[in-house]
């Protein structure tokens, strides 16, 4: 896909980390950004914020025009590891399973994706950016020098989410979470716009039996390799 954004000429390096829900991409991306001193974009948070905003407004998640309008004017702020919707700290609220399910639904709406496109690209600033999501390497930053696609079995991802929910004192059913992961995967990979898939030049990492630190080191090594090839090309 051609990048027609004015930011296409902006050569701050970008590392994209895409993958399905609970593959570990957010944790890995945040740690990589911290090591490199780069900015961090949790694109999924923008879709979760959009879904939460629609729920608060009483808008149907199937009403594409209404949800897209909310996305375009989303009063989102990210500060000190917290996420704000206008003046409300919604860091925990956007991680609720219902909001995650809603985010998957609104992310399939072309008008919503279009509304959030330039907002995501605007995060590309010096000294660099680590962006995690589902279409970072294929649509948002197709010219990123380093791309990674993290995956894991639905069972492994559901177990991780189950542990997170239990640790926070929430009740959860492992069987329901597996079914939810499979349903989200099917919806994300089948959607007409920006389906979940690895970029052709992405490093594929299966984290089913891989620890976070091992994944972080693999991403850092991949980035160093890509940077080395780029310098040789110059």
Q: Which residues are annotated as a binding site for ATP?
A: 19-27
Q: CA dist 63 to 105, 131, 154, 194, Å?
A: 11, 28, 29, 19
CA-closest candidate to residue 146, choices 125, 130, 168: 130
Cβ-in-10-Å burial (0-12, 13-18, 19+) of 4 comes to: exposed
Question: How many angstroms separate the first and last alpha carbons of the chain?
Answer: 24
Coil, helix or strand at residue 20: coil
CA-closest candidate to residue 31, choices 15, 52, 9, 47: 15
Annotated binding site: 19-27
Residue 13: CB atoms within 10 A of its CB come to: 19
Coil, helix or strand at residue 130: strand
């Amino acid at each position: 896909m051609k990048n027609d954004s004015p930011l296409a000429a902006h050569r701050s390096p970008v590392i994209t980390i895409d993958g399905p829900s609970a593959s570990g991409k957010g944790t890995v991306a945040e740690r990589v950004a911290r090591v490199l001193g780069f900015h961090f974009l949790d694109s999924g948070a923008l879709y979760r914020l959009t879904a939460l905003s629609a729920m608060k407004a009483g808008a149907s998640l199937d009403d594409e025009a209404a949800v897209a309008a909310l996305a375009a004017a989303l009063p989102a702020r990210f500060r000190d590891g917290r996420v704000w919707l206008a003046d409300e700290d919604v860091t925990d609220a956007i991680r609720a399973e219902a909001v995650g399910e809603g985010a998957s639904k609104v992310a399939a709406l072309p008008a919503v994706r279009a509304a959030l496109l330039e907002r995501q690209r605007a995060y590309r600033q010096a000294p660099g950016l680590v962006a995690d999501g589902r279409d970072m390497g294929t649509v948002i930053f197709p010219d990123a020098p380093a791309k990674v696609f993290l995956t894991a079995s639905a069972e492994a991802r559901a177990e991780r989410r189950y542990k997170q929910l239990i640790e926070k004192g929430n009740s959860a059913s492992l069987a329901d979470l597996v079914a939810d992961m499979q349903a989200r995967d099917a919806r994300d990979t089948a959607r007409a716009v920006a389906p979940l898939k690895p970029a052709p030049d992405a490093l594929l990492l299966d984290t089913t039996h891989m620890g976070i630190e091992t994944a972080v080191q693999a991403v850092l090594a991949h980035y160093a390799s890509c940077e080395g090839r780029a310098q040789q090309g110059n």
